[in-house]
Structure 1
Amino acid sequence: MMKPWYVLNEELMVDSPALLVYEQRVDDNIQKAIAMVGGDTSRIRPHVKTNKSFDVCAAFRASGIHQFKCATIAEAEVLGEVGAKDALLAYQPVGPKITRLIQLKKHYPKTIYSCLIDHVQSARALNEACLAADCHMDVYIDVNIGMNRTGASIERVEALAMEILALPGLRLLGVHGYDGHIYNGNSQMREEQSDASYLMLLEAHQVLLELCSSVSRMIIGGTPSFSYHSERPDVVCSPGTFVFWDYGYEQALQEQPFEYAALLMSRVISIIDKNHLCLDLGYKAVACESPLPRVHFLNGAELEQIGQSEEHMVVKVPDSGEYEIGQVFYAVPRHICPTVAMYEKLVVVVDGDIDGYWSVKARDRKIKY
């Protein structure tokens, strides 16, 4: 019998819990994303919050992708290190983040850094800091297209744009909208919601064009709406989870072509009684913001997750006599992005063998800047 694709040839070479990445599958997912935008890499701006890794960003670059989105200054710094041509901080910088972003811009002059703005106070503070540092910052107006988390309302876009255009330290490039509220498992409903979000961003974009014809860019969406925005030739898409994929999106977004490229490796550490086992897969090993089950076991579908603490996961099984201490299980996290941030290194797997490690460098809040 052929061994499943995910099983390591030498399991004892890896301590658990561990996060394994399957390099060929990572590359395949990148190519599938590029294919979804018709092969035009200028229409995709991957969000690196999922991988936080220099090596994954380098794989994007090797595939011809040169523009990215990030959520933290550390992620922006990794993009500078990897030589990204364009890095958008999908965040309105406040406090020390303003200075840190300007420092990155000066240290990595080959990377064009930009950020979001949704309030005039932030625009003025950023402008003042840029003038003091003798530089300018490219910005996008963040538009609230339904997420209701950040972003200016449509009604405020014109006034905000006029304020930004009058500030000499800022250069307004376009609009940005994130529709993370769209994750319904019904593809028709997601398509309708994506259409509505796009029309809101398009309205904001038209407002900007009336004020300044050079403001031409629209950046929209994440992974759930990627299926629909990828077909719009006038927008740049910014999915992130696709590179590793996870169980939550596999269940909800069945029309998307991506495959699991990152798995958790866990072991049985205790046989509690005739129907219960304990695994080394606690809160510190997998994102725990969702209710149980928080993982999907590829080689243990019968394991029922009934409890979890910092270092332990208790599962119910039909007969614990069929299991051994140290037995290995491979699991897909429900949510991969915060799971990645729990690991210093990713174990790289090629054809079942360990092929090195990728540092999750941007899991730190601060690297150098």
Structure 2
Amino acid sequence: MPNLNGHLPLQSLPQLLLDVAAIDSNIALKERWAAERSMVLAPHIKTTMTREIVHRQLPGAWGVTVATAGQAVHAAAWGARRILIANEVVFTPQVLQLRRLLEADHTLDIFCLTDSVAGVTVLAEVFDGAGPRLNVLIDVGVAGGRTGIRTADEAPALADEIHRHPGLRLAGVSAYEGIAPNLRTAENLEQVDSHCRMARTIFEGLRERFGEQPIFSIGGSAFQDRAAQFLPAGAINVLRSGCYVIHDHGTYADVSPLPGLRPAAVVRAVVLSVPEEARAVLGAGKRELAYDAGLPTLVAHHRNGEAQVEPAGVVVKLFDHHAIVESADGLVVGDTVDLGISHPCSVFDRWRSVLAVHGNATELWHPQF
């Protein structure tokens, strides 16, 4: 668990706390892992959208990944020079936003995805005749999943359509195997492998249509080890994991193939009430805690700033600003507990400021979504 003592200078509770040493350790571990597999890293910064964390990720990264044009604007302001938007951009004002970014700074490279002629048309209408070119990756999806072409047969015509427009550059292929459930069952891993294999097949089929240094972009935080088995030779193989930087006490703790990652975030909350035996009510709920990938877990317990024994109890229900703990043992009104979260992407957007803790020093950081 994060090494966060109970004597922090907190002005209010609940509060999201970050262990900076754990963040730095996770970044270094991930960079080594990618380099050992001949991959470059473009961390998906939508996990935190926090400038101070992104600045720690940039020195060892090929670029960054974002999910929206708005996030791309932040990334450019924070110093990223290569920005991969792992999404379709088909709303004309947002495409114009990308053109303005590129026109304002010729050191920028922006990449986005497409899976349709209609999507290419929107991009072309904005970029044809422009000075800068937009890099476009063919998005490979799965049936029943999110965006992306569903069959290899769709790729050649889509590549031809991109080539027809001088403002666009066919840059490579992108896929995301993390759409699969975060379970390492044989059936699920075969589904992941099948998706990665199809993406590589599509890349190989288009190889002669790419220019120099084509990109093959794949890999989340759950199955990057599987993705790394399907990398085409001669490509810039871009790993765009995001959750690794914070890790968690839940879904990624269970599924991540990287030993040594450390959970770097907890939400500290006060015990408001013990209205029944073995039942405690905490002052944090849906507005402060992630719950889409599992309820929070109790990982630390403090009384008057002093650490207590490992807390006993299970969070069983969340309200807007309350959490219900059953089988609670040893919690009294006024104590504080640290709640480990599952899925870090779903907690940062709940906070306007987070308290970063590095040794005895603290600093307020501000996520920007």
Alignment partner of 2:67 out of 59, 67, 71: 71
The answer to whether the aligner puts 1:324 opposite 2:332 as a matched pair is: yes
Assess if the C-alpha contact under 8 Å between 1:145 and 1:200 holds in 2: no
Instruction: Name the SS for the 1:49 alignment partner.
Output: helix
Amino acid at match of 2:132: C
Tell me, yes or no, if structure 1 residue 314 matches structure 2 residue 315: no
CA contact (8 A) 1:60 1:66 kept: no
1:128-149: per-residue Cα shift (whole Å, max 9, x none)? 1113654321111111146721
Equivalent position of 1:31 in the other structure: 28
Residue aligning to 1:367: none
Gaps of 5+ in 1: 364-369
Question: Any idea what SS the aligned residue of 1:263 has?
Answer: strand
Please provide the CA RMSD for this pair: 2.3
Structure 2: give runs of 5+ residues left out of the alignment: 301-309
Say whether the 8 Å CA contact 1:187–1:253 is kept in structure 2: no
**Distance in 2 between residues matched to 1:179 and 1:254, nearest whole Å:** 14
Partner of 1:115: 112
Q: Does 2:312 align with 1:302?
A: yes
| Deviation per residue, 1:319-367 (Å, 9 max, x gap) | 5xx322221111211121011111112211112x342022102x2xxxx
Verify the 8 A CA contact 1:47 1:238 in the aligned structure 2.
yes
Contact map agreement 1:41 1:65 (CA 8 A) in 2: no
Deviation for aligned residue 1:232: 5.3
> Does the 8 Å contact 2:174/2:199 carry over to 1?
yes
CA distance in 1, matches of 2:348, 2:147: 24
Q: Does 1:179 align with 2:186?
A: no
Contact 1:190–1:225 (CA<8 Å) still a contact in 2?
no
Question: Equivalences for 1:11-50 in 2 at 5 Å?
Answer: 11=8, 13-39=10-36, 43-50=40-47
Match of 2:209 among 191, 211, 219: 211
CA separation of 1:18/1:82 partners in 2, compared to 1, >3 Å: closer, same or farther? same
Conserved? CA contact 1:303–1:315, under 8 Å: yes
CA deviation digits over 1:218-241, x for unaligned, max 9? 101211111233455543211110
- Normalising to structure 2: TM-score of the pair? 0.88
**Secondary structure of the equivalent of 2:270?**
strand
Q: Among 244, 248, 253, which residue is 1:250 paired with? A: 253
- The CA deviation string for residues 32-62 of structure 1, in whole angstroms up to 9 with x for no partner, is 1112123578622211111111111100123
Q: Say which of 121, 126, 151 aligns to 2:148.
A: 151
- The verdict on how the C-alpha distance between 1:14 and 1:354 changes in structure 2, with shifts beyond 3 A counting, is farther
Q: Which residue of structure 2 lines up, in the alignment, with residue 333 of structure 1? A: 341
- Number of the residue aligned with 2:101: 104
Amino acid of the structure 2 residue aligned with 1:201: A
Find the counterpart in structure 2 of residue 348 from structure 1. Answer: 356
Q: How far 1:7 sits from its partner (Å)?
A: 3.0
Q: State the match for 1:366 in structure 2.
A: none
Query: Alpha carbons of 1:318 and 1:116: their partners in 2 closer, same or farther (altered >3 Å)?
Result: closer
1:75 Cα deviation from its structure 2 partner: 2.0
Give secondary structure in 2 for the equivalent of 1:94.
coil
How many residues get paired? 353
Q: How far apart are the structure 2 equivalents of 1:258 and 1:14?
A: 30
* Identical-residue share of aligned pairs (%): 23
> Partners of 1:201 and 1:187 in 2: how far apart?
21
